[in-house]
Structure 1
Amino acid sequence: MSAQRRLRRIVAAAVLAVAVTAGVASCSLLGGNSNVPVATAKPATGTDGAANFDGGYVSAGSGAKKVDLWFDPMCPVCGAFEKSNGATLANAVTDGSITLRLHPLTFLDRASNGTGYSTRASAALVCVAVHDPERTLDYYQALFADQPEENSSGLTDKQLAKLATDHGITDISGCIDRSGPYQAWAQANTAHSQSGPITVDGKKVLDNIQGTPTVLVDGKQYTGSISDEKEFASFLAG
C-alpha cells in the first residue's frame, strides 16, 4: 500500500471515528454524479423469492415487528452500524422477532472509480434474495465483513459471485451477468429515496432519505448513536 493511500485511510478512519462518536453519522446522498454508470434495463417489478421489488427491499425473517434499513454497500457508516448492531438484528431475525427489510441504495457509485460498485453489489444481493432467499442476510453481512473503502473500485463481479460461494450460498455468477433489471431497480430506488415520499406499509414515514444508514422500527426512525449497541437494542425492543 502506498504512503498516500495509507494517509487517506488514516484520515478517513479518523473522520469516521469522530462522526460515529457524535452519534449523528451518516453517508450523505448529496454529491457529484460524474463517471457513474447508468443502468438502462427495465427495473424489475413484483416479487421474487425474498425480493419485493415494488416495496423497494429484500427481506430476511418473518417476525411481526418490521425493521427497514436503507444502506449503500460502500457507505463506511453503514459498515460501522453493521459492526455494532448487525448481531442484534441477525439474532432478532433468527428468533422470529422481526422482519428485516433491506433497501439497497447506489449513490456512492460516484466513489468507485466508474465501476458502479454500489449498483453491482446491490444487484448481487438481489440475486441471492431471488435464488437463495434464506441466505439473504448472510450475503448482506458478507458485503460488510470486508467492505471496500470509498474511492476504491470495489469488488469485481467475479469477486461478488465468489463472496456468495465462499459462504456456502448458491452460485450467483450467471445471475450477476444478467442483473441489468436488478441494477436498474436499485438505481430507481435511489432516485425515489431522494424525491420521496418514503412510505412503509402504505403509510408515509419520511419526506426522503437524507443519509445512510437510515433505520426505522415499525415506522419510527432510530436517531441514536450507531455505535451504541445497548441504545439500539433498547430501541429495537421498544
Structure 2
Amino acid sequence: MSKGSKERSARARQIVAEQKAAERRRTVTLWTSVAVVLILFVAGLFGYTVLSGQDDGKVTTPSVAVDEGTAFATGTGPVTVDVYEDFICPTCRNFETATGPTLKRLASDGKITLRFHPVAILDDYSNGTQYSTRSAAASAAAAEEGKFIEFHDVLYANQPPEGSSGLSDAKMIELAATVGLTSDTFKNAVNEGTYKAWAAQATETFSQRGFNGTPTITVDGQVVTGPDKTVPNTALITETIEKAAG
C-alpha cells in the first residue's frame, strides 16, 4: 500500500472513530436529559402529593362549626344573622357592645339563628404576633368545649389595641379560665395552634364571598349597612330582622 493510501485509510478510520464518539456523546446527553426530566417530574409529583397531604392534615375544622365550617351558631330562629368579626378590630368591639346583647337576646328568644364568623384580616396590626389568627383559633377551641359565646365576650372585654402585640396565648388561657374554660384540651389547642390553619381557611372563605372589612353583618344573606356604608346600628339591624321575618 502506498504511503498516500495508508494516510487516507488512517484518516478514514479517524473520521469513523470521531463520528462514533460524537454519536455516543449525543446518546449519553439525550438519556441524561431524559433522566433529569423524569427525576424532576417524579420529585415534583412527590412534592405536590406531600404538600397536599400536609395542607389537608393541617386544617382541623371544629366539629361544631356551621356554614361550611366557618361559623359558630347560637339560637335556631327562622332568620339567620351572620356576624363576621376580627377580635382586634375596635369597630367590631363597638358593634358587639352596642348590638351584641340584642342579637343574643333575639337568638335566645328563638327569633334568629345567630352565627359568628371569626376571621383574621388584621394580623398586620399586632406586631407580628398574628393575634387575629391566634384569637380566632382560640375561639374555635372554645367552641369545641361549648364555650364560644363566653370566650368571645371575654376577648372583647379585654381587647388589646390595634398596633399592640395582642394578648399572649397564656393570657387568653387565663381569661378563658374566668368563664369556666379550663380543660387541658382547650389549653393544648391554644398552645399548639390547632385551629390556626382553620382560621386562615375561614378568612379565605370570607374573602371569596366578596367581603373585605369587619364587622360585616348579613341578614338572611344580605349585607346590612348604615348610611354611607357605615356599620348598622341596633335599630337598623332589628328593623331588618323584623322585615325578614315577615
TM over 0.5: yes
1:125 and 1:60 map into 2 onto residues whose CA distance is 14
Q: How far did 1:170 drift?
A: 4.0
1:54–1:232 distance in 2 versus 1, CA, 3 Å: closer
Paired residue for 2:237, among 219, 232, 238? 232
The answer to whether residue 124 in structure 2 is matched with residue 122 in structure 1 is no
Q: Partner of 2:68: helix, strand, or coil?
A: coil
Which residue among 47, 52, 59 is the counterpart of 1:43?
59
The CA deviation at 1:188 is: 1.8
**Alignment equivalent of 1:160, drawn from 164, 168, 172:** 172
Aligned residue type for 1:228: N
Whole-Å Cα distance in 2 between the matches of residues 63 and 232 of structure 1? 15
Check whether the contact 2:79–2:241 (CA below 8 A) recurs between aligned residues: no
Helix, strand or coil: the match of 2:218? strand
Which one has more relative contact order, counting CA pairs under 8 Å at least 6 apart? 1
Deviations 1:155-183 (A, max 9, x none): 11111112111122343212212333x11
Unaligned runs of 5+ in 2: 1-54
Q: Distance in 1 between matches of 2:103 and 2:73?
A: 12
Change (3 A) 1:63 1:144: same
Counterpart CA distance in 2 for 1:221 and 1:60 is: 20
Q: Deviations over 1:3-30 (max 9, x none)?
A: xxxxxxxxxxxxxxxxxxxxxxxxxxxx
Match of 2:225 in 1: 223
Look up the match of 1:103: 117
Q: Percent identity?
A: 36
Asked if 2 retains the 8 angstrom alpha-carbon contact of 1:44 and 1:53, the reply is no
Structure 2 CA distance, aligned partners of 1:145 and 1:162?
Answer: 14
Residue number in structure 2 paired with 1:13? none
Unpaired runs of 5+ residues, structure 1, are 1-39, 199-207
Report the counterpart of residue 196 of structure 2 in structure 1.
183
Name the CA shift for 1:97/1:53 in 2 (closer, same or farther; >3 Å).
closer
Greater CA drift, 151-160 or 140-149:
140-149
| Aligned residue identity for 1:161 | I
Code of the residue aligned with 1:236 in structure 2: it is I
Query: Secondary structure at 2:160's aligned position in 1?
Result: coil
2:82·2:117 contact (CA, 8 Å) conserved in 1? yes
Q: What is the CA RMSD across the aligned residues, in angstroms?
A: 1.9
Report the alpha carbon displacement of residue 150 of structure 1 after superposing the two structures with TM.
0.3
Note the C-alpha offset of 1:79.
Answer: 0.9
Say whether the 8 Å CA contact 1:51–1:58 is kept in structure 2. yes
Q: Which amino acid aligns with 1:95?
A: D
Q: Secondary structure at the match of 1:174?
A: helix
**Residue 87 of structure 1 corresponds to which residue in structure 2?**
101
Report the counterpart of residue 212 of structure 2 in structure 1: 210
TM-score by length of 1: 0.71
CA offset at residue 97 of structure 1? 1.8
